């Protein structure tokens, strides 16, 4: 059990639209997001003393610039004592928040800016993006040579889950529809057109039983958030978002070594986070569940306790997770509808979690939201990371 509950808070968030922007440099996505976060926090930029960028996948050159302090220079920050990259794939945002919390709690930092930007939509060729992202984090010795890729991995998890639970393709497709309903209210989302279950199930075959519209889409974008001590946050921010609980479980690197591809480590990680927060799933107002493919959002939703095993799909189907539903879920549209910006998929979810709790989500605001859970995962679903955030400390 950590000693970070209620000790730090997110006080500012920033995000630029997700999409395909071939004329826009990646540094713009980073700096624009950071400036929005600084403005949202209501601080002077020189109060930031620690910059924490995460990795950009589309360009080693740009990623090196992030590592070597370009963000600090472009923003004109005068009092930064450290620029340190934190990268854990799709769980980078969760790892960064916990590291930032530890640095602040120890007194090593006062005000930390975390920032992400990538151009997976237009920074590489279409085939280059597919080649880069379809095998990133998959064993080059034992799986890639035999044709393993992310859509095949998602298909295997989906098939196993369906076999064990009786879940239907309609239930799997309902996750995509639920996310699209949220994306239609999100000005930063890539996809806003109506989406019906029949359309998802009629789209081109991807990896049996998955269809093209079950898949995330690579995109350009950026997001940022600012973390400080709880005491300082209360003096600065009208509605700070406190870190209340965190749980993490690493289960594998090579997908074939995962002992349960339809559960992973979500239940254990969730118990750790809820125990630290002193809350239960019934206390949660918003569930921001990682969703690179619908099966992983559905598994996380159930394993964290929002539905019995095999019953979550029906909740997505009948609207419990939609705007106005009983448990609003992945309220920015997720990677299935907002778009997938590499490590930024979960960064966007972290920012959305804070946005909902701050009461700044506009048309998609969940009224009265006090507590939220956010999940993140890296690589071939190698880890399960669960974060509980709230506007009050239980």
Asked whether 12 and 226 are in contact (CB, 8 A), the reply is yes
Among 85, 94, 83, CA closest to 60: 85
> What span, in angstroms and rounded, lies between the C-alpha atoms of 338 and 125?
20
> What span, in angstroms and rounded, lies between the C-alpha atoms of 184 and 190?
9
Q: Running along the chain, 394 residues long, what does each successive block of 10 average in pLDDT?
A: 87 98 97 98 98 96 97 98 96 96 97 97 82 84 92 96 98 98 98 97 96 95 98 96 97 95 98 98 98 97 98 98 98 97 95 98 98 96 97 96
User: If you count them, how many residues does the chain have?
Assistant: 394
Q: What is the pLDDT of residue 130?
A: 75
Measured between alpha carbons, how far apart are the two ends of the chain, in Å? Answer: 16
Q: Are strands 8-19 and 371-376 parallel, antiparallel or unpaired?
A: unpaired
> What span, in angstroms and rounded, lies between the C-alpha atoms of 386 and 376?
7
Q: What is the pLDDT of residue 3?
A: 82
Asked whether 52 and 115 are in contact (CB, 8 A), the reply is yes
Give CA separation, 108 vs 5, 38, 50, 223, 230, in Å.
Answer: 18, 20, 9, 24, 15
Q: What is the pLDDT of residue 131?
A: 78
Query: What are the chain's domains?
Result: 8-124+219-236 (3.40.47.10), 137-218+243-390 (3.40.47.10)
């Amino acid at each position: 059990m950590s000693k970070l509950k209620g000790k730090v808070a997110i006080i500012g968030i920033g995000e630029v639209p997700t999409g395909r922007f071939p004329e826009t440099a990646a540094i713009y996505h980073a700096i624009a997001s950071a400036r929005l976060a600084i403005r949202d926090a209501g601080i002077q930029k020189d109060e930031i003393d620690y910059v924490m960028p995460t990795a950009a996948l589309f360009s080693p050159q740009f990623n090196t610039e992030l590592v070597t302090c370009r963000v600090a220079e472009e923003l004109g920050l005068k009092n930064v004592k450290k620029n340190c990259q934190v990268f854990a794939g799709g769980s980078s945002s969760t790892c960064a928040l916990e590291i930032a919390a530890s640095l602040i709690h120890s007194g090593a930092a006062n005000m930390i800016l975390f920032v992400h930007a990538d151009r997976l939509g237009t920074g590489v060729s279409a085939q280059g993006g597919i080649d880069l992202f379809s095998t990133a984090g998959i064993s080059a010795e034992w799986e890639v040579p035999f044709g393993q890729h992310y859509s095949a991995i998602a298909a295997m998890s989906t098939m196993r889950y369906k076999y064990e639970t009786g879940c239907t393709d309609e239930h799997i497709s309902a996750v995509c529809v639920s996310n699209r309903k949220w994306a239609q209210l999100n000005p930063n989302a890539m996809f806003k057109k109506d989406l019906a279950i029949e359309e998802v199930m009629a789209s081109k075959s991807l990896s049996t039983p998955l269809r093209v519209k079950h898949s995330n889409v690579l995109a350009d974008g950026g997001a940022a958030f600012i973390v400080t001590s709880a005491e300082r946050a209360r003096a600065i921010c009208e509605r700070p978002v406190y870190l209340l609980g965190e749980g993490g479980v690493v289960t594998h690197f090579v997908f074939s070594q995962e002992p349960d591809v339809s559960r992973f480590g979500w239940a254990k990680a969730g118990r750790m986070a809820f125990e630290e927060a002193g809350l239960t799933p019934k206390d949660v107002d918003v569930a921001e569940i990682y969703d690179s493919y619908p099966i992983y959002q559905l598994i996380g939703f159930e394993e964290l306790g929002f539905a019995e095993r095999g019953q979550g799909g029906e909740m997505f189907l009948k609207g419990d997770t939609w705007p106005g539903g009983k448990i609003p879920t992945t309220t920015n549209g997720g990677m299935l509808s907002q778009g997938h910006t590499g490590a930024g998929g979960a960064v966007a979810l972290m920012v959305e979690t804070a946005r909902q709790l701050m009461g700044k989500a506009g048309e998609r605001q969940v009224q009265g939201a006090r507590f939220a859970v956010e999940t993140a995962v890296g690589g071939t679903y190698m880890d399960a990371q669960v974060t509980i955030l709230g506007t009050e400390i239980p």
